[in-house]
Every structure is written in C-alpha cells, then in structure tokens.
Amino acid sequence: MSRRTKSGSIYKRGRVWWIKFYHRHKPLYESSHSQDPEDAERLLKRRQGEIATGKFSGFGPERIRVVELFEDLEQEYKTHQRKSLKQLKPRVAHLRPLAELRVADLTTLHVRGYITQRVREEAQNATINRELQILKRALTLGAECDPPKVLRVPHIALLPERNVRTGFLDDAQYLRLRNELPDYLKPLFVTAYHTGNRLGELRYLRWTQVDFERAQIRLNPGETKNDEGRVLPIYGEMRHWLEMQLAVRDTKYPRCPWSSTTKVT
C-alpha cells in the first residue's frame, strides 16, 4: 500500500509507514516509526519543507546523540584551556539522563523533567542552572558546526537564583580587620576590599600588571572567573599599600614577579 505525491510518497513496510522523497535528485527513504499513515504524511511534508528552505542537511544530525555534544564541549574546554574544565565532568555526569537521547528528540519537556528530578535530589537552583548552561552551550556548539550537528536548539529556561551575598564590612570593621592582619597580608586585603575582586584573581597578579602611572591594575584574559580581561582602578589607600609591597619585594625578593607575598614562602 502506498500514496504518491509530486515529490514523494508514503508506503508500508510491514506495519510501519515509510516515506520516500528526493534530495538533489537522489531518492531517500525514512521510517515514520508509526503505524498511522498521517504521521508519515506529516514527516514527508516536514522533509519537503526542509529541502525547500535549504534546512535539510541529510540524516547525520538526526542520528547525533547528546553525549556526542558533551564530548565536543569537553574538547573545546581543553583546547581553550578553560579553568572550569574540572567542574565540567561532574556537571555532565548529572546530565547523564539526557545524554543518550538523540538531539533531534530533545525537547523542553525533557529539560523540565530533568529539572524536576534535580529538585527532588535537593540540588540548589544555582547548581541546576550551571548544568543547564552546559547543556545549552553543548547544543549551541553543535549548531555552529559545519555541517551542523544540531538543527534546532530547544528553549532552556533557567531557574531563579537568590544569591544574596553577606559578610560585607563597614568602614570601621574594615579598619579593625586591616590593623589585625599581618603586614604581608594587608596589601592584598586592602586591594580586595577596594576592588571587590575574588582572592584567586588577585593572588596571582604580577607586578607587570600593576601600572602606577595610569593608576590601574590589568587582569588578563583567562585569569578571571569568566576568562575575560578587566581593568581595576588604583584609588584610595590602595596605592600606599601596593607601593609598600613593591618596596618589600625590591628589598627582600628582587626577582619575584608576584605582587602578593602570599605567593612567596
């Protein structure tokens, strides 16, 4: 049993309906995986529409699984030497329920189911969001391939985060804490207090990044949390403590490139 149109047809193999259509003058055959001829007709019209709009690139993307996209993403992290590579694998491990899905089958319904499961496991919204961002990045990377591995990136909505930062110091508390610290920590503490930067971004500063003439500190790309470069102003008492630190370096450790003596042991 078969039904023909000008540019294709549907026909039965056993109980399942298949479609036949043409791409670049070559016949292609595909199962609808359904016993309902209307499903086959819808699939045929979809393929014909993809061919007419130039969106059909063969069956390759239809067979790609999500796990392959995760492998590509890991390789991208390694190529660009991303510091978050260590965090990638455990987060991908949580995404394992989605990994064996075909990319073409992945929908927002699967994503919502994943979120529901992670909430049941008492994962925090921020943790779930970082995992969803990995999934979205893997899909986007697949869509950017030539030829593309992903033809459609489903909408992935993130959960609300309530990351209220606590522990800020007022001026009096800042001065008391600064005065109690050992001298070698004071320049680092003062710089962190005035710039609001993370300790990990400041501990690895080199003196070549500190520009007293322009009153600025340069954070190089790849040395910050988001891997983007930034410029920090030197203001207030930062100059006094940084210059004092430089004098200590020149006297005791003239060959040390680091601006923080916490690097010197």
Report yes or no on 160 lying in a domain: no
- Picking from 127, 143, 159, the residue at the C-terminal end of a domain is 143
User: Both 176 and 255 in a single domain?
Assistant: yes
- Picking from 32, 56, 80, the residue at the C-terminal end of a domain is 56
Locate 196 and state its tokens: 């609001």
- Picking from 56, 80, 100, the residue at the C-terminal end of a domain is 56
User: Both 40 and 87 in a single domain?
Assistant: no
Output the CA–CA distances (angstroms, integers) from residue 242 to 172, 175, 195, 239, 247, in the order listed.
21, 17, 13, 5, 9
Phi, psi of 159 (to 5 degrees): -85, 155
User: Both 51 and 73 in a single domain?
Assistant: no
Report yes or no on 129 lying in a domain: yes
Report yes or no on 151 lying in a domain: no
Report yes or no on 122 lying in a domain: yes
User: Both 70 and 39 in a single domain?
Assistant: no
Boundaries of domain holding 42:
2-56
Total domains present in the chain: 3
The dihedral over CA atoms of 82, 87, 90, 94, expressed in degrees to the nearest 10, equals -90
User: Both 78 and 43 in a single domain?
Assistant: no
Report yes or no on 73 lying in a domain: yes
List the Cα angle 158/159/163 in 5-degree steps: 115
Per-residue pLDDT of the chain (265 residues; tens, 9 = 90+): 667 766 789 999 889 999 998 887 888 888 888 899 998 998 899 888 878 887 676 666 667 889 999 999 999 999 988 878 888 989 999 999 999 898 888 889 999 999 999 999 999 898 999 999 999 999 999 988 877 888 788 889 888 876 555 566 778 888 999 999 998 899 999 998 888 887 777 887 888 999 999 889 988 776 666 556 778 888 889 999 999 999 988 888 888 877 664 444 3
Q: Whole-structure pTM over 0.75, yes or no?
A: no
